[in-house]
A and B are shown apart, each in its own frame.
Chain A
Amino acid sequence: GAVVSQHPSRVICKSGTSVKIECRSLDFQATTMFWYRQFPKKSLMLMATSNEGSKATYEQGVEKDKFLINHASLTLSTLTVTSAHPEDSSFYICSANPTGNSGNTIYFGEGSWLTVV
């Protein structure tokens, strides 16, 4: 089946630095990808919709200058957490739906654990 891959799976960074997380669709093209954040024992919270070739659409309350999203190609979206703080430590997950897909399945990446120290 279709695969969405995230990298890195785990990352530790120092407070104040920036960290980039990649989301790749390995065997399909996706004009739209989605970024979620999940805190321990909590549900997934949608952060933004990543649109290939245009600006991302952010959900209410999500700072666009802090969570930079770039959808450079039909198979790659990146999330950059800028000036990271310990409260940004979380599990970040992306998803993608194959372009032209008439429905059925949305594919998720394996997730990326971010720890800010």
Chain B
Amino acid sequence: DAKTTQPNSMESNEEEPVHLPCNHSTISGTDYIHWYRQLPSQGPEYVIHGLTSNVNNRMASLAIAEDRKSSTLILHRATLRDAAVYYCIPLRGPFGNEKLTFGTGTRLTIIP
């Protein structure tokens, strides 16, 4: 499994953009980059995923480096509800019954 490196914690002001980085230098060519987040006392929830191209959805954007060794999750306008631990997880494709291996993630604090 590809290893990932994320900052332990980050802070951001409410209503400002947040850029959460992830290094995955050992990622294989067929690994998708998934992001999940875990709100306090809840199970993780899917945020976004991508392979090579940048991706957007209603929750966030994912910017993937050209060499795929890093990616950045972008929350365009952080709210207090976005305070969570964010996990970057490479997953092999095509998917089937994939088990997720969680690293330490980044604990995001939103300042009102």
**A31, A46, A106, A111 interface centre (most CB from chain B within 10 Å):** A106
- Please report the total number of A residues contacting B with Cβ < 8 Å: 28
- B58 CB to closest chain A CB (Å) equals 12
Which A residues are CB-close (under 8 A) to B95?
A: 97, 101-104
A49 on the B face (CB < 8 A): yes
B29 on the A face (CB < 8 A): no
> Considering the complex, which residues of chain B in the window 76-106 have a beta carbon less than 8 Å from any beta carbon of chain A?
87, 93-105
Contact present for B43 and A97 (CB under 8 Å): no
List 12 additional contacts besides A44-B100, A95-B44; criterion CB under 8 Å: A34-B99, A43-B103, A43-B105, A44-B44, A46-B101, A93-B43, A95-B100, A97-B95, A103-B95, A104-B49, A106-B46, A106-B100
> Considering the complex, which residues of chain A in the window 18-51 have a beta carbon less than 8 Å from any beta carbon of chain B?
31-32, 34, 36, 43-46, 49
Contact present for A110 and B43 (CB under 8 Å): yes
A-B contact count (CB 8 A): 59
- As a 0/1 sequence over residues 70 to 114 of chain A, the CB contacts with chain B under 8 angstroms (1 = contact) are 000000000000000000000101110100011111111111010
Complex Cα distance, B41 from A93, in Å, reads 10
Sampled A-B contacts (8; CB under 8 Å): A43-B102, A44-B102, A97-B95, A103-B93, A105-B46, A106-B46, A108-B45, A113-B41
Which B residues are CB-close (under 8 A) to A95?
A: 43-44, 100
Interface residues on B, range: 20 to 34
Contact present for A110 and B99 (CB under 8 Å): no
> Considering the complex, which residues of chain B in the window 35-78 have a beta carbon less than 8 Å from any beta carbon of chain A?
38, 41-46, 49
Q: In the complex where A105-B46, A108-B44 touch, is A49 in contact with B99 (Cβ < 8 A)?
A: yes
- A56 CB to closest chain B CB (Å) equals 12
Which B residues are CB-close (under 8 A) to A105?
A: 46
- A113 CB to closest chain B CB (Å) equals 8
Which B residues are CB-close (under 8 A) to A32?
A: 97
- B38 CB to closest chain A CB (Å) equals 8
Contact present for B45 and A97 (CB under 8 Å): no
